[in-house]
């Protein structure tokens, strides 16, 4: 079986491998499943999915297929698994079938780690839209894996891709000579003038071509294809492993969408003596009530499981929009968070905050400025977490007229009964709190738009 593997360990003696026949994560997972979970001093997190559709920095949640998410934990033997028999997203040119994602935390002797694996039985990009035929790319048996671990020699990581078969059917007259597309097709067998295909023996060469390309390779009439990412890092405190097989931009049919296929992410960090943080933020979450459409995760940022060693981390997103900004647009998004643990005091504390300089909903003429949502949390192991939620809003206008800013926890009605504005929607638990800075309900449009989502939780295990 041919594979592209990228790995870095702090010791060359590390023998962990998902893909070799030796005892490693797979054997450790099986062993862990037969025993009760064991707490460690490490924080583990993994996120795996088959396909994600991103437009203008906003995810379409209903197209995040076979999404297995293992939230921060200190326990061995924890897993998450999701499968999808058939996925046909709203874009008729993107079809994903028979996909499975799984994440596991494991312990093998003195090695601790977390691994994520995605397998996709069949991917088909292209076909026909609005009566116009496009090129077609078919990939069968795609497997993506990410592994982050710690041994006595230190932290390490490993990433890999593989597929069973690939087939590309071009349009008649597609120019090839001297183009990057010609290099991509070189490892494949030419079946006809327009059809090229190959088995897993060509997988390594295909991924090497994509890896060496300085820009996405154009497929005229369909879009472009690029290697998503294959990277990892390790230092004295943590290891991350990220693998995304393919990033395909589909611009046929008049729209431009990024399709991420075969993604696995794993992370391990230390120390986590008092628990793990499950905290972060997102600018918006939009739900269309009369359909399955849901959008959000504007480059979502979260606190590492073990925290940030007391450092405040800040991230900026210039702008993002739902359906090209026609439904909603946010600009000037800032995420900030901090997490710190104290082993002697058995204490973990931190905060998560989201700010949005400007929000617009053009369809109804709604404008909101300076939304800020923040959650602080402080907790000791086996005791309830103390949390505090705060929010602020600069100004609100509706069709050019000012609207009173609701007090925290209160609701105001938009003029003409167009909808409701609810500030600081909070959900408390033993482990912390989650808050929505502003919830917008639009009755005629049957839309709920949540803005400034801040999440602050600390879990003992």
pLDDT in tens, 110-137: 999 999 999 988 888 888 877 888 999 9
pTM of the model: 0.81
For residue 271, whether the previous peptide bond is cis, meaning omega lies within 30 degrees of 0, is yes
pLDDT, one tens digit per residue, over 285-320 is: 888 766 555 565 666 789 999 999 999 999 998 888
* Angle at CA of residue 160, ends 159 and 166, nearest 5°: 155
CA-atom Rg of the chain in angstroms: 24
Q: Where are the domains of the chain?
A: 4-269, 276-459
DSSP lists the bridge partners of residue 423 as: 438
Q: How confident is the model over 403-430, as pLDDT tens digits?
A: 999 999 999 999 999 999 999 999 999 9
Half-sphere exposure of 399 (CA within 13 A, CB side): 7
Q: What number is the average pLDDT over the span 148-163?
A: 94
Nearest to 453 by CA among 343, 355, 313: 355
Give 51-94 pLDDT, tens digit per residue.
Answer: 777 654 554 544 556 789 999 999 999 999 988 755 545 567 77
- Calpha distance 382→57 (Å, rounded): 38
User: Which residues 6+ apart lie within 8 Å of 187 measured at CB?
Assistant: 198, 202, 205, 206, 209
Above pLDDT 70, what percent of the chain? Answer: 84
**Mean pLDDT across 357-385:** 93
Quick check: 31 pLDDT over 50? no
**C-beta of residue 262 within 8 angstroms of C-beta of residue 246:** yes
């Amino acid at each position: 079986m041919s594979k592209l593997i990228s790995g870095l360990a702090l010791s060359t003696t590390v023998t962990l491998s998902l893909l070799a026949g030796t005892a490693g994560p797979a054997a450790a997972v099986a062993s862990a499943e037969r025993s009760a979970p064991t707490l460690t001093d490490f924080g583990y997190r993994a996120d795996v999915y088959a396909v994600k559709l991103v437009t203008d920095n906003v995810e379409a949640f209903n197209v995040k297929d076979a999404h297995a998410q293992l939230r921060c934990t200190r326990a061995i033997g924890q897993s998450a698994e999701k499968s999808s028999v058939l996925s046909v997203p709203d874009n008729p040119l993107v079809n994903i079938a028979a996909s499975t994602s799984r994440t596991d935390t494991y312990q093998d002797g003195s090695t601790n780690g977390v691994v994520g694996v995605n397998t996709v039985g069949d991917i088909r990009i292209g076909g026909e839209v609005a009566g116009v035929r496009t090129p077609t790319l078919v990939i069968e048996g795609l497997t993506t894996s990410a592994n982050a671990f710690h041994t006595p020699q230190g932290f390490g990581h490993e990433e890999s891709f593989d597929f069973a078969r690939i087939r590309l059917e071009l349009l008649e007259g597609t120019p090839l000579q001297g183009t990057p597309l010609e290099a991509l097709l070189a490892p494949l067998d030419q079946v006809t003038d327009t059809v090229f295909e190959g088995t897993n023996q060509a997988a390594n060469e295909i991924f090497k071509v994509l890896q060496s390309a300085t820009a996405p390779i154009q497929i005229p009439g369909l879009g472009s294809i690029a290697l998503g990412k294959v990277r990892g890092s390790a230092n004295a405190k943590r290891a991350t492993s990220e693998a995304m097989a393919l990033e395909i931009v589909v611009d046929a049919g008049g729209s431009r969408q990024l399709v991420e296929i075969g993604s696995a992410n794993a992370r391990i960090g230390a120390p986590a003596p008092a628990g793990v943080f499950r905290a972060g933020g997102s600018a918006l979450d939009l739900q269309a009530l009369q359909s399955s459409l849901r959008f959000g995760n504007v480059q979502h940022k979260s606190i590492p499981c073990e925290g940030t060693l007391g450092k405040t981390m800040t991230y900026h997103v210039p702008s993002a929009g739902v359906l090209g900004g026609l439904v909603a647009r946010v600009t000037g998004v800032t995420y900030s968070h901090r997490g710190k643990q104290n082993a002697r005091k058995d204490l973990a504390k931190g905060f998560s905050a989201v700010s949005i300089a400007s929000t617009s909903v053009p369809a109804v003429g709604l404008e909101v400025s300076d939304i800020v949502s923040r959650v602080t949390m402080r907790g000791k192991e086996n005791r309830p977490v103390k949390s505090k939620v705060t929010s602020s809003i600069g100004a609100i206008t509706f069709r050019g007229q000012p609207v009173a800013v609701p007090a925290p926890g209160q609701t105001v009605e938009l003029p003409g009964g167009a909808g409701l504005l609810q500030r600081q929607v909070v959900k408390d638990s033993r482990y912390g709190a989650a808050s929505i800075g502003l919830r917008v309900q639009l009755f005629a449009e049957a839309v709920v738009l949540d803005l400034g989502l801040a999440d602050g939780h600390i879990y003992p295990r």
